[in-house]
Structure 1
Amino acid sequence: MCLRSVSRLSHLDKECIIMQREQYGVLVCLAGVLCNLVLFATKLAIALAVNSAAVFSDAFNNLSDAGASLALAAGFYVAGKEPDQRHPFGYGRVEYIAGLVVACLIIITGLGVGKFALERFLEPQPVDVNPFVVCGLACTIVAKFLMSLFYRQANKAIQSTAIQAGATDNFSDAVVTGVTLLSFTITGFTVFPVDAAIGVAVAGVILFAGIKTARDALGHLLGRMETPGIEQQIRGIVLATEGIEGMHGLTVHDYGPFRKYASAHIELAASMKFPEVHTAVEQAIDSVRQILRMDIVLLPEPLDATSENFLPPLAFRHQESSR
């Protein structure tokens, strides 16, 4: 399946965009699972061959990445389900739950790797390095860089924070493996357990990534403040509608990627008649949907509440079924 950039899919409705996005996300994550399992097996074989704590830590870092990609694939699959009677806003937040599961897996892996590397640091063991090992690790570095580029291109298509984090993680893995390879050069010139120290550092990187992922996922689940840019866009679109003089009380509700809903109070001239108010509200709602692909509820209020033409607050919401 070929998915173009989401910004170019203006002719498709929102649900179609979401379904294609989730399907593409599943394929990307499954590709990540396969690649990380191959890298895990390769690095584990190298670690056992040369007795390296750093490579061993790096190998299990790739295993945690494979588990994370599998969890994200499941999250994308469930998040792509259409809204139903029990979940009228869809299953988009499952993607955030999957991110939290991924974070837990990463943290557990980091703790295990750190324990192993620390034991090696306290009781150092010799590391046997040969040209084949160096070539093998160099190939894994290239593979991780290519995976990082692959994830970045995928993120341009589906605009997923999880995929973006995967791109950054793959790049970090390539750097970590490069540092591990460099440690082999230093090991022969010092009695300090450089290999084990690098293993501890890798564990620290894994833990940092896990904590950051958990913080981001929890932020979405608990309902964090939206970026000012989105609110400014909504205000600009609504206030550009003829007849709407002001706006306040804007709130954006996040039910998952591309499943955001907004609500706000708008101010109109008290002299406007009901049909004019209805037309202005519908026009503003349609504009927000077409430009931002977001549903919005608008509550009209008169600018002059003491006027004889006072309009009682009425909520207008554009329903897809009315089309």
Structure 2
Amino acid sequence: MISYLINKFVPNAQDTKNQQVRSQVGRLCGWIGIFNNILLFLIKFMIGTVVQSVSIQADAINNLTDAISNIISIISFRISNKPADASHPYGHQRTETIASMFVGLIIVVLGFELAKESFTKIIHPGVIDFRWVTIFILCISIAMKLWMYSYNKALSKKYESSLLEATALDSISDVLGTTAVLISTILSPIFHFNLDGYMGVIVSVIILINAYNLIKDVINSLLGMAPDEQLVKDIKAFILQSNQVLGVHDFIVHNYGPNRNFASAHVEVNSQNDIFEIHDEIDNIERQVKDKFQVELVLHMDPVKVNDPETDEYKAIVSKAIKECNEQWQFHDFRIVSGPTHVNLVFDLVVPFDEKKTKQEIEQEIMSHINVSKEVYLVITIDYPFA
């Protein structure tokens, strides 16, 4: 049914990278979610009031907050579709991430309110009121939420939407919560003990755990997460296909929302080749990467001496010394400044983020593994593996 509605109301729905398409799909899912959640809220709240079940009423209110979350997602998808402007040159796609944060905060408030009501119910349990209509409604609710989870999860992968992913996670938490309520409704009459409040606590814990995971992912995204390793490998491999490129390093990726990736990298090129030919090739690579990977790439040229005996000799010495010090260390941008009395060895050293040694300690350790007749000095820039 969802596929039918998307194909009917969203032109070019198969163009999953198109921001306009993503926005329309997200808003359509939002409207479907609002209808489903309000319907569930009305039915379950009435049943919960009739049978005096706080867990069913709380589950109903959870559906109402889900509808509010759907409204937020609709607004978010509309804003994120706005083109870049002078104040936001990288676009508005991060609106989805911010909206996910609001959804998470709403879920947190819900979780705490439910926990408070549930503890009250444990202290002051009510009369058990078993009705088959309650079982029927809860089963319908579980089935509907499973359906909502399945299509939101599938569409989140297809259209690479963190907000649809958040909606899917919210739906599966509702399934778990409603299942807990269903178990309470069935078992309470059997054991002659009102489990309503206890199941309400379980539901609140599930809600809070999902809220925590959602907010954690949102905060990580806003702080700047490491880029997808496979994407980095694929782009590097593509760049290295060029005959003009000898090596790639300092690859950095910045994400500003779905399909809004910006990257920069340094490419080593032969210093003896024609600079205009190299520049032309780099322009072509940048355009091809944008078309193939949807990444705005900027390349910086690092000219290196090729087949220079003295440079190659010292580079091999430094490579051996670094490997003996720490196999996790890597270096690039190597060059030498050779004078009559000494040689400066200039390079960038890439160390892990958890490296404990200071720059001075690193230099001393590398120097202890270098044994040459001429006086040498290290000029090192410490780098970290951003990609």
User: Partners of 1:271 and 1:159 in 2: how far apart?
Assistant: 44
1:115 positional shift: 0.7
Aligned residues: 299
What residue is the counterpart of 2:64 in the other structure? 63
Cα distance in structure 2, aligned partners of 1:164 and 1:198: 26
Return the structure number with greater relative CO, CA threshold 8 A, min gap 6: 1
Which SS does the other structure have where 2:284 is aligned? helix
CA distance in 2: counterparts of 1:33 and 1:212, whole angstroms: 23
Structure 2 unaligned regions, length at least 5: 1-8, 306-334, 338-387
Q: Where does 1:120-131 land on structure 2 (aligned, <5 Å)?
A: 120-131=121-132
SS of 1:242's partner is coil
More displaced stretch, 247-256 vs 221-230: 221-230
Q: Please state which structure has a larger fraction of its residues in strand.
A: 2
Which stretches of structure 1, 4 residues or more, deviate above 4 A after TM superposition? none
Write the distance in 2 (CA, Å) between the matches of 1:79 and 1:31. Answer: 20
Match of 1:139 in 2: 140
Separation in 2 of the partners of 1:181 and 1:87? 48
The whole-number CA distance in structure 2 between the counterparts of 1:6 and 1:227 is: 22
Per the TM alignment, residue 191 of structure 1 is displaced from its structure 2 partner at its CA by: 4.6
Q: How does 1:144-155 map to 2 (within 5 A)?
A: 144-155=145-156
Query: What is the rounded CA distance, in whole Å, between the counterparts of 1:59 and 1:25 in structure 2?
Result: 24
Q: Any idea what the Cα deviations from partners look like across 1:226-253, whole Å, max 9, x if unmatched?
A: 2222221221121122211111111111
2 CA distance for matches of 1:52 and 1:233?
A: 55
CA contact (8 A) 1:246 1:266 kept: yes
Encode CA deviations 1:74-130: one digit per residue, 9 max, x unaligned: 111111100112211111111111111111111011111111111101111113111
2:13 is aligned to: 4
1:248 paired residue number: 249
In the alignment, what sits opposite 1:109?
110
**In 2, Cα distance between the equivalents of 1:153 and 1:250?**
31
| 2:190 match: secondary structure | coil
Corresponding residue for residue 21 of structure 1: 22
Separation in 1 of the partners of 2:163 and 2:128? 36
Q: Residue in 2 aligned with 1:181?
A: 182
Paired residue type of 1:213: L
Does the 8 Å CA contact 1:61/1:206 hold for their aligned counterparts?
no
- Look at both structures and tell me which one has the larger radius of gyration over its CA atoms: 2
Alignment partner, residue 225 of structure 2: 224
CA distance in 2, matches of 1:93, 1:235: 26
After TM superposition, the score normalised by the length of structure 2 is: 0.73
Given that 2:118 and 2:197 are in contact with CA atoms closer than 8 Å, whether structure 1 keeps it comes out as yes
SS of match in other structure, 1:299: strand
Q: Distance in 2 between matches of 1:217 and 1:30?
A: 23
Amino acid of the residue matched to residue 125 of structure 1?
G
Residue 206 of structure 1 deviates from its aligned partner by: 1.0
Q: How far 1:48 moved relative to its partner?
A: 0.6
Q: Does the 8 A contact of 2:253 with 2:263 survive in 1?
A: yes
Q: Check if 1:87 corresponds to 2:88.
A: yes
Q: How high is the TM-score relative to the length of structure 1?
A: 0.87
Asked if the contact 2:240–2:246 (Cα under 8 Å) also holds between the matched residues in 1, the reply is yes
Which residue of 1 is the match for residue 159 of structure 2? 158
Q: Render the CA deviation track for 1:53-88: whole Å, top value 9, x for unaligned.
A: 221221122122112121121111111100112211
Q: Alpha-carbon deviation of 1:216?
A: 1.1
Cross-structure match for 2:328: none
SS at structure 2 position matched to 1:258: coil
Bigger helix fraction: 1
- Kindly provide the amino acid, as one letter, of the partner of residue 21 in structure 1: R
Q: In the TM superposition, what is the alpha-carbon distance from 1:142 to its structure 2 partner?
A: 1.6
Aligned 1:297-316 pairs, distance under 5 A: 297-304=298-305
Task: State how far apart, in whole Å, the 2-side matches of 1:52 and 1:158 are.
Answer: 39
How far residue 257 of structure 1 moved from its aligned partner, in angstroms, is 0.8
